[in-house]
Structure 1
Amino acid sequence: MLRDTPPFRADHVGSLLRPPRLLQAREEHAAGRIDAAELRAIEDHAVEEVVALQREAGLRSATDGEFRRGSWHMDFIYRLDGISKAHDNLTVHFRNAAGEIDFTPAALRVDGRLGLSETIFGDDFTFLRDRVTDGVTPKLTIPSPSMVHYRGGAAAIDPDVYSDVEEFWADLTAAYREQVRRVRKLGCTYLQLDDTSLAYLNDPDQRRAMADRGEDSEHLHEAYIRHLNEALAGRPDGLTVTTHMCRGNFRDSWVAEGGYDFVAEALFNQLEVDGFFLEYDDERSGTFEPLRHVPADKVVVLGLVTTKHGELESRDVLRARLDEASKYVDLDQVCISPQCGFSSTSEGNSLSVDQERAKLALLVELADEVWGR
């Protein structure tokens, strides 16, 4: 059966490979050789081209590729009132088949009352909205509120501002509720909250790291689900909300491993979203068995196609994977997508735009074969 509302049978997570001219323009702007207006014009052109790429692949949703961001989450988080960049950097250990690679994003500091003075990515969404055609739905992706806490925890929160962590959460979720209200007013009907924490916490090593930080790691996912629901409380009519959960995506590498078993029951039954984008491209993702917890009114988007290399998947293998998943969840509740974005940070993964386009087109073709055109 076709789906007329998001998530669509063939969908994608959000970020797409940045063109070289855009990356060059960012470097030139950082060096002061071009001004903000010139950078914006180059970004505009790149977004128009990537919207066309998605349309030509046959997708029914379109993002701006996250082309105006350096990373999928920090560009949003730093624009919340009360958050600033810390002087020290985090070190995140990513892994791939060749070994380990360290990523050092700037850390954050909660040094003021959290709030929302501006509609974050509002102008970016409006530009996207005005350029999609032919029934394509523009999708906005933002990080989940959980990411603000997972990135730093209590150590990142100034105790003179928030002596009680529940006050921190109350202000953070209120800021998110306002963001949700504002983007819906701009015409957004498809909002995705990206949340690696809910996938990371399936990994015992990540839970140990959270326990070492002083968190109740056995129940942290339940707290995140509760606060995410608070952020979505009273959401406007006509807005589909999904969440995407991967185990890290930076230059073909990952952070966490393990299936969704630890969080699945609470996640699928308590988180008040319409759909779940799940990473399922290799053995790190675990089995499909956790899908038995998906209630009948929710949709799962299985990330069967990897963005971590350019080799095109076999359609027969993907079809077999869907057959396997159908043992645990009705195929009418299933959509398909890449396992993550193609470029969660500006560096991107090591595949070409042509390979990216082929993977997106393969998903559309497979969806047409399984569910009908």
Structure 2
Amino acid sequence: MKLNPAFRADHVGSLLRPDAVRENRLRWKKGEISAEELRAVEDAAIADTVKKVESLGMKSITDGEFRRDYFHLDFLKQLDGVTVTGGIGANPNAKVADDGFTPPQLSVTGKLRHARDIQVADYAYLESVTTQTPKVSIPSPTMVHFRGGRKSIDIEAYPDMDEFFHDLAAVYRQEIDHLYKAGLRYLQLDDTNLAYLCDPKMRAAAVERGEDPNELPKTYAALINSVIDGRPDDLTVGIHLCRGNYRSTWFAEGGYEPVAEVLFSSINVDAYFLEYDDERSGDFAPLRFVPDNKMVILGIVSSKVPTLEKQADLITRIEEAAQYMPLANMGVSPQCGFSSTHHGNAMTMDDQWRKLELVVDTARIVWGD
């Protein structure tokens, strides 16, 4: 039976890629197999993984993002007018990967258009192989703006930023409308930028780009609302905040206080997936702004490190969070995905499954079945 989300035990979306997926994606990039052959491999891996996730008791089911290289780029580059180039400079004040990786940069080089469905076929396959509630995670529309700001948006295509935000919202509404018509009832927006605006260094970098870090959360709230307001009553929308998740590394730190009031009071989502796995995310006090009609899924199980958390510690942290908002409005999850890029985080498949099983078991103890 498919239940209504968000769930007491939930997860962000991406899962470690099985060897067959990683190996055949590389073969596809080399031209050794066709896109159809790669998709058949992905289909088989997704079907097997869905069974495993269901067997753990998880009601929220994704395709593990097995068809993506990056949690955001594979979606955004399908929008006409979006170009992916090079990389961005690493934040010298935060931990980065030993290999020097920095995320590629998005720029807007023409008018934004939704010329094709992006996730509909992937959703349809996922829905066909799960007995639980399928969830699709897509990058937040803010991902098209934050890292480059005004300078990354072609002045000839968009001399007026209001027109840019209007068109960006429109292409997202089209994709979500098509997903809904295909049957989707659980959508998640993955947003690093609202979390980055919790970091003093990231806020300073925004100022250098000519942006006001105090106004950006309001701008982004208006953008997200223009995408999701007016959605059908039976479409649940959550938003996940992330401070970076490449091969167990991170790019930002800082508690939610700088964005909390706008985040919780002004963005019209149903649920928040919040990183709370270590001190980088601050304390639970910002949860005092969460309205009574919204859910918070506490990301207190780390997807970055293989060490399994102690259940008693998790329960204590949930109780601490309940000092600021009703326990009845909370759930538990890993703090992020296990593989936001195809590389995956520094843990084994067994580590991943034990983490997800711990999430489910903890939710049962705290909230019951």
Q: Encode CA deviations 1:171-225: one digit per residue, 9 max, x unaligned.
A: 0001111111110001000000000101110111000000001111221111101
Determine whether 1:162 maps to 2:189.
no
Does the 8 Å contact 2:42/2:67 carry over to 1?
yes
Give 1:357's aligned residue: 353
Give 2:252's aligned residue: 256
How much does 1:93 deviate?
A: 3.7
Helix, strand or coil for the counterpart of 1:261?
coil
User: Which residue, out of 319, 324, 330, partners 1:323?
Assistant: 319
Q: Which amino acid aligns with 2:282?
A: G
Q: Which amino acid aligns with 1:89?
A: G
Helix, strand or coil for the counterpart of 1:102?
coil
Q: Distance in 1 between matches of 2:126 and 2:285?
A: 37
Structure 1 length as normaliser, TM-score?
Answer: 0.96
How much does 1:303 deviate?
A: 0.1
User: Which residue, out of 203, 220, 245, partners 1:207?
Assistant: 203
Q: Distance in 1 between matches of 2:184 and 2:136?
A: 7
Helix, strand or coil for the counterpart of 1:234?
coil
- 1:176-187 correspondence runs (5 A): 176-187=172-183
Q: Distance in 1 between matches of 2:186 and 2:71?
A: 17
Q: Distance in 2 between matches of 1:4 and 1:191?
A: 14
Helix, strand or coil for the counterpart of 2:155?
coil
Greater shift after overlay, 98-107 or 363-372? 98-107
Does the 8 Å contact 1:94/1:250 carry over to 2?
no
How much does 1:109 deviate?
A: 2.5
Structure 2 length as normaliser, TM-score?
Answer: 0.97
Does the 8 Å contact 1:245/1:277 carry over to 2?
yes
Which aligned segments of 4 or more residues in structure 1 are displaced greater than 4 angstroms? 94-101
Q: Distance in 2 between matches of 1:95 and 1:355?
A: 29
Give 1:112's aligned residue: 110
Give 1:334's aligned residue: 330
Give 1:66's aligned residue: 65
Identical residues among aligned pairs (%):
48
Give 1:269's aligned residue: 265
Give 2:82's aligned residue: 83
- 1:174-253 correspondence runs (5 A): 174-253=170-249
Helix, strand or coil for the counterpart of 1:150?
coil
Does the 8 Å contact 1:177/1:235 carry over to 2?
no
Give 1:40's aligned residue: 39
Q: Encode CA deviations 1:245-296: one digit per residue, 9 max, x unaligned.
A: 0111111111111110111111101100000000000111100000011110
Aligned in 2, Cα 1:181/1:101: closer, same or farther, shift over 3 Å?
A: same
Q: Which amino acid aligns with 2:229?
A: A
User: Which residue, out of 89, 92, 106, partners 2:90?
Assistant: 92
Q: Distance in 1 between matches of 2:72 and 2:126?
A: 19
- 1:306-317 correspondence runs (5 A): 306-317=302-313
Does the 8 Å contact 1:113/1:161 carry over to 2?
yes
Helix, strand or coil for the counterpart of 1:92?
coil
Q: Encode CA deviations 1:10-30: one digit per residue, 9 max, x unaligned.
A: 000000000111111011111
Q: Distance in 1 between matches of 2:77 and 2:176?
A: 17
- Where structure 1 has 5 or more consecutive residues not aligned to the other structure, the ranges are none
Q: Distance in 2 between matches of 1:19 and 1:213?
A: 40
- Where structure 2 has 5 or more consecutive residues not aligned to the other structure, the ranges are none
Helix, strand or coil for the counterpart of 1:12?
coil
Cα RMSD of the aligned pairs, angstroms, is 1.6
Helix, strand or coil for the counterpart of 2:12?
coil
Determine whether 1:24 maps to 2:23.
yes
Q: Distance in 2 between matches of 1:44 and 1:123?
A: 11
Aligned in 2, Cα 1:95/1:210: closer, same or farther, shift over 3 Å?
A: closer
Greater shift after overlay, 272-281 or 100-109? 100-109
Give 1:297's aligned residue: 293
Q: Distance in 2 between matches of 1:99 and 1:360?
A: 25
Does the 8 Å contact 1:94/1:254 carry over to 2?
no
Helix, strand or coil for the counterpart of 2:108?
strand
Greater shift after overlay, 63-72 or 112-121? 112-121
Q: Distance in 2 between matches of 1:350 and 1:337?
A: 18
